[in-house]
Amino acid sequence: MTPTATQLVIEIAYLVATALFILSLKWLSAPSTARRGVRAGEIGMVLAIGGTLLRHGIVEYQWILIALVLGSVIGIPLGLVKMTAVPQRTALSHACGALCVTLVGTAEFYLRSPNVPRFMMAVLCLEVILGSLTFTGSLMATGKLQEILPQRPITYRGQNLVNLSLLAISMVLAVVLVFHPGHKSLFPLIVFIPLVFGVMMIVPIGGADMPTVISLLNSYAGLSAAAMGFVLDSKLLIIAGALDGSSGFILSVIMSKAMNRSFSNVLFGAFGQVQTTAASAQEAQPVHSATAEEAAGILASANTVVIVPGYGMAVAQAQHKVRELFDVLTKKGIDVKFGIHPVAGRMPGHMNVLLAEADIPYDRLLDMDSINPDFPQTDVVLIIGANDVTNPAARTDHASPIYGMPILDVDKARTVMVIKRSMNPGFAGIDNPLYYEDKTLMLFGDARGFVGDIVRELTGGSGH
């Protein structure tokens, strides 16, 4: 191929890759198109890598080949982890991306210094600062989620001041470098200080808040990649980084809103420290409990049923049993829908992915805003391992830590049945007044076992 023809092929590959990245994000936003979204992203990435490998700037392929083999050897097993480990796996990917961005930025600085124009130096500094803090921050997040590091928030006096000072010092050094790019001795500091900041930033954040923090780190990784795009003069990187940066940020905002938390509360609030005490202080109140046989009878006589899954369904891996229950009830002519809260479970889309894995039809999964108006006309709500996302205290109790959090209005249905193992609280560590209402029946047991028992009762003991 002539150089101009090669250039044309590269440009087309990049253009198609860009379009595929945008479409991928669009398709990923609905369960019915999510698989297509993943494929589009994968093909886009292959085109982006392929196009880059054709570039004439590359003089030797052997190191690239070694890196490609090494990356695949690490990447393939990472892609096969269990679904409950996806948050930490994602954090680890961010760490790798951020390390790469930092190394490229460092190399570019030493190649170009002292002849670095101001704008270029500013984006280089941004790239390296964000890359470094995302690298160590993501490693810390992985450690907390994998429980290699203590999950509880670790706090000390003046912590926020120390952290913000570290960030401020990095910024000041960056400004000095922008005006004096020949000060090579300062550069290691704008790598090292954000590396320390990344660790310190995660220390006060509880393990359960990590999914929100990970999507924020995702955003930082994207922004640093976009900055790298300016440094390397790659429009594709700028676009991909900007998409990554903005989508990560939007996701963090959605998650914070759905948990009724502000960003600063997630980052500086040390949430998770006082949670369990609130519940244990509660006085024991009577609840109505029922057996699988009774629950099956109630379900069989309903016309409309809404199933509300939560973290407990994920822990129990009950999704396939839930699918059996859905089939049995649907065969009986009962209208069965699923009410999905945006932060049910422990990661974005957790419930959607589990229910999709069990092949529950997508049109039966309704998000909170769509299902809430249906509850007053619903005969039975069956809650499977969900707690906080159904807690009416979020609407009524001004003193509750989740006051203001939008919830699924399950208490408006005629009958509510809750499968959980005990009266223990969920993530927020608070009692749920729903359990003491007359219309609520507690079905104590493991989600998978209990749903299986209900299915057996409904099918006359034969299972499904």
Question: What are the residue numbers of the active site?
Answer: 388
| CB contact at 8 A, 354 and 313 | yes
Find all residues with CB under 8 Å of 148, minimum gap 6, and list them.
142
C-beta nearest to ligand NAP: residue: 426
| CB contact at 8 A, 364 and 408 | no
Q: In angstroms, what is the minimal distance from the CB of 421 to ligand NAP?
A: 3
Site for ligand NAP in 343-362 (CB under 6 A): 343-348, 350
Q: In angstroms, what is the minimal distance from the CB of 361 to ligand NAP?
A: 22
Q: Is 370 in the site for ligand NAP (CB under 6 A)?
A: no
Helix 31-53 to helix 350-357 angle (10° resolution) is: 100
Site for ligand NAP in 122-181 (CB under 6 A): none
CA–CA gap between residue 352 and residue 31 (Å, rounded): 7
345: left (phi over 0), alpha (psi -120 to 50) or beta: left
CA–CA gap between residue 28 and residue 36 (Å, rounded): 8
Q: Is 315 in the site for ligand NAP (CB under 6 A)?
A: yes
Please measure the distance between the N-terminal and C-terminal CA atoms of the chain and give it in whole angstroms. 61
Q: Which of 108, 244, 374, 388 binds ligand NAP (CB under 6 A)?
A: 388
Q: Is 420 in the site for ligand NAP (CB under 6 A)?
A: yes
CA–CA gap between residue 21 and residue 41 (Å, rounded): 5
Q: In angstroms, what is the minimal distance from the CB of 445 to ligand NAP?
A: 7
Site for ligand NAP in 174-233 (CB under 6 A): 208, 211-212
* Cβ neighbour number for residue 70 with a 10 Å cutoff: 10
Site for ligand NAP in 79-118 (CB under 6 A): none
Write out the H or E segment, with its range, that includes residue 86: helix 86-112
Q: In angstroms, what is the minimal distance from the CB of 212 to ligand NAP?
A: 6
Q: Which of 191, 223, 292, 316 binds ligand NAP (CB under 6 A)?
A: 316
List the beta bridge partners of residue 365.
338
445: left (phi over 0), alpha (psi -120 to 50) or beta: left
Q: In angstroms, what is the minimal distance from the CB of 317 to ligand NAP?
A: 9
Q: Is 447 in the site for ligand NAP (CB under 6 A)?
A: yes
Write the interaction track for ligand NAP spanning residues 255-294; mark x where CB under 6 A is met and - where it is not.
x---x-----------------------------------
CA–CA gap between residue 306 and residue 232 (Å, rounded): 52
Q: Which of 2, 62, 422, 462 binds ligand NAP (CB under 6 A)?
A: 422
**How big is the site for ligand NAP, counted in residues (CB under 6 A)?**
33
Give the residues lining the site for ligand NAP (CB under 6 A). 208, 211-212, 255, 259, 310-312, 315-316, 343-348, 350, 385-389, 419-422, 424-428, 446-447
